[in-house]
Chain A
Amino acid sequence: EVQLLQSGGGLVQPGGSLRLSCATSGFTFSNYAMSWVRQAPGKGLEWVSAISGSGDTTFYADSVKGRFTISRDNSKNTLYLQMNSLRAEDTALYYCAGAPQRPNLRPNFDYWGQGSLVIVSS
């Protein structure tokens, strides 16, 4: 059974930092490009960042570039998102999601985590 178990969300003040984790099992983690996708309350989905299966290539949305860092540990089958300089507009439910590794980034997310709520507020 495929599982993506997320942890690390919470309440943080503007300017603060938070790290999200996504521990996976049930599939060959290194064969999947992994992304973080967020959803603000009552809003649509927003792609945040992606990392290749090997971890050597990363991609970011303009809205988080320079503030967020995506990484993965294939020995632990775990994905991370380090979020720095957080802003109120970063408040959202953050999902980790996996798509089969392909030469180019594709939005074919077969697997999703349960979501981690991040609230940025003073």
Chain B
Amino acid sequence: QSALTQPASVSGSPGQSITISCTGTSSDVGGYSHVSWYQQHPGKAPKLIIYDVTDRPSGVSDRFSGSKSGNTASLTISGLQAEDEADYHCASCTSRSTLVFGTGTKVTVL
């Protein structure tokens, strides 16, 4: 199972919006509504910020939103803040009853 494809890095200025893509296939992202996104600060465990493509866990800022079109899922961060600087990972279930993560994206706040 190959990792889902994410851009290595995305950057933006405070207050701007950025979008991170997560591209898979019809056997994972495109075939299911179970795509999650995680935020990971250096030296910390990942934190769930989006699940089931669009849903946010309790306590997660509404500046984070998710969507999906075909085989590509996307995470949008609105009103970018310094604290959003972190690594972001997508994940999906697959047709082989496994899970697969993305390659990870480093977000830099300029």
Q: Hey, which bits of chain A sit against chain B, CB under 8 A?
A: 35, 37, 43-47, 50, 59-62, 95, 97, 104-110, 112-115
Provide the residues of chain B in CB contact with A62, threshold 8 Å: 1
Count of chain B residues near A, Cβ 8 A: 26
CB distance from B105 to the nearest CB of A (A): 9
Say whether B104 contacts A44, CB under 8 Å.
yes
Say whether B3 contacts A107, CB under 8 Å.
no
Say whether B34 contacts A108, CB under 8 Å.
yes
CB distance from B40 to the nearest CB of A (A): 8
Provide the residues of chain A in CB contact with B97, threshold 8 Å: 59, 104-105
Contact of A47 among B51, B52, B57, B100 (CB under 8 A): B100
Interface hit among B11-19, B61-69, B76-84, B85-93: B85-93
Contact of B101 among A45, A108, A110, A114 (CB under 8 A): A45
Say whether B104 contacts A106, CB under 8 Å.
no
Provide the residues of chain B in CB contact with A60, threshold 8 Å: 98
Which A residue sits closest to B91, measured CB to CB? A107
Say whether B98 contacts A105, CB under 8 Å.
yes
If A104-B93, A109-B38 are given as contacts, then 19 extra A-B residue pairs at C-beta distance below 8 Å, sorted by A number, are A44-B102, A45-B46, A45-B101, A46-B101, A47-B98, A47-B99, A59-B97, A59-B99, A61-B98, A62-B1, A104-B97, A105-B97, A105-B99, A107-B35, A107-B36, A107-B51, A107-B92, A112-B47, A115-B45
The yes or no answer to B48 lying at the interface (CB within 8 A) is yes
Which A residue sits closest to B90, measured CB to CB? A107
Contact of B48 among A43, A108, A115 (CB under 8 A): A108
The yes or no answer to B103 lying at the interface (CB within 8 A) is yes
Provide the residues of chain B in CB contact with A47, threshold 8 Å: 91, 98-101
A108 vs B51: C-alpha distance when bound (angstroms): 6
Residue-wise interface mask of B (25-45) relative to A, using a CB-CB cutoff of 8 A (1 in contact, 0 not): 000000000111010100001
